[in-house]
Chains A and B, each alone.
Chain A
């Protein structure tokens, strides 16, 4: 750790003392940080601690005064709940498929955009636009104008007669999420492509390496850390998907497209079961923390984001 940099003397406060003082009033250095740090701790950490507390209580909002300590009972109940396990599986499927497909599409689009051509700026603007549509608006529009069995564009274009949201609920939701997230992947991967050194690429061409050869042995390895970052960031955002499911399928038919955020929402705000939904929340946090630890390491290592701290 190289953060203990010698504070340069500030002539204004130490009149005529040219000697740099080590650790010159550390609180003075911390002061600008504290408001943000304390605010974040108060607003984000305290509710989580309360969630942990609730998860050990039997408490239904419909029955006032029913609150009492039940130990790990909620956790036992949650794991015995087959809907919860189904929601967990849906969450994994939704996240993995959406991240993978939107990255593959994003890579394709980024490669198309990474060259000079007429109207490049316009094409890039078009491609990022789905990301800028309100997710709530995007979900409702896909549900109606795209997926509707009678008047929807999809059946018209494909010449089919499918009730997409009933027959392929999770697939339909995933299509919408992929559409929404592909622009982000495209931009991130494009940033990676443009970070390549032009000299190396030219040198490869001079050496007679073909386009595919150059891509496979120079571009792809350089791109890999951007791809990893894209995958992890995509996963963090997509694992929390709620808008699309709430607005397109309400988790149905049955529980066919219920993911964890939606199921917790249902148990809390439709079932009013504070204890069990809190226990589910805690489980989600633990699962996410495992992924997050990995992500943190990767972000610090591959991008050397702490490099500037000297």
Chain B
């Protein structure tokens, strides 16, 4: 029985390591020279070097990183500003037709973005927003807003009704009520929502690759540059992939308990 448990644990570990092995391999390759990256058989032991990371920055990674950071922060803040009051109006002081509004938000997530890309391209071109970070700011805010409203609402529903009633009787107005009573309770939920929005904005590819280029390109656009580059730069690609993924990996590890809640739009706690 005990042996069975130990072997099951060992099996679980083995599966997990196999599953994550492409990531481990990415990390290893990023510390190789290009010569070490192309060997048959693949090389597990080598003398590590940081030259690939330097190479990534020489390739002009920083502006893309800055664009990604800017778009992620601005769109996440915009989402929070819009979603917090909306979630309040859909949970604590629900408006008429709340479930219709929720349904509408959800339905926008289900419409394939590819169907809107052509008008978005034409509109962006007409208003001079092509290859401009503000186009991405607007689109990412809209992309994450429904998810944030749903997720935040599920946190707001956990605020005890008595607390709100008590504050109302005491004469607190809406902004005060939100700030003093609701916010402390839902703060961890807001943080989790923000982290999920950060992940989605950081990893978004479709809008970025179609609407931006050299000037407003984000990190995924930088990575896509590796498919057209002549020759092969596996080690440098691995270094770039690691640098590009690291922020999201760290945030995701921190927010792993909330990842499902975000993706299922709050349907699963």
A residues at B contact (CB < 8 Å):
1, 3-5, 7-8, 10-13, 26, 29-33, 35-37, 39-40, 43-48, 50-51, 54, 109, 112-113, 115, 117-119, 123-138, 140-142, 144-146, 150-151, 153, 156, 179, 182, 184, 187-188, 191-192, 226, 229, 233, 236-237, 239-240, 242-243, 246-247, 260-261, 264-265, 268-269, 274, 277-278, 281-282, 284-285, 288-289, 291-292, 295-296, 299-300, 303, 305-306, 308-310
Query: Which of B85, B117, B263 meets A35, CB within 8 Å?
Result: B85
What's the Cα separation between A46 and B240 when bound, in Å?
37
Q: Mark B114-130, 1 if CB is under 8 A from A, else 0.
A: 11111111110000000
Count residues of B near A (Cβ-Cβ below 8 Å): 114
Asked whether B226 lies within 8 Å of A140 as measured between CB atoms, the reply is: yes
Contact B111 A285 (CB under 8 A): yes
B1 on interface, CB distance cutoff 8 Å: no
B234→A240 contact, CB < 8 A: no
Indicate if the CB atoms of A47 and B120 lie closer than 8 Å: yes
CB-contact partner of B205 in A5, A242, A305, A310, under 8 A: A242
A127-B119 in contact given A11-B171, A242-B205 (Cβ < 8 Å): no
B248-260 CB mask vs A (1 if < 8 Å, else 0) is 1101110010011
Cβ of B94 and Cβ of A13 under 8 Å apart?
A: no
The answer to whether B269 has its CB under 8 Å from any CB of chain A is: yes
Helix, strand, loop or mixed for chain A's interface?
helix
Give the CA-CA distance A191 to B266 in the complex, in Å. 12
Name B242's closest neighbour in chain A (CB-CB): A137
B267 touches A36 (CB 8 A): no
* A240 to B112 Cα, complex, angstroms: 6
A257–B190 CA distance with the chains assembled, in angstroms: 40
B244 within 8 A of A: yes
Residue among B96, B139, B173, B251 with max Cβ neighbours from chain A (10 Å): B96
Q: A124 and B93 in contact (CB under 8 A), knowing A43-B139, A130-B19, A288-B112?
A: no
**Which partner residue on chain B sits nearest A302 by CB separation?**
B267
Residues of A within 8 A of B249 (CB): 129, 132-133
Contact B169 A11 (CB under 8 A): yes
B111 to chain A, nearest CB (A): 6
Inter-subunit contact B121/A268 (CB<8 Å): yes
Hey, which chain A residues are within 8 Å of B224, CB to CB? 136, 246-247
Cβ–Cβ < 8 Å partners of B113 in chain A? 240
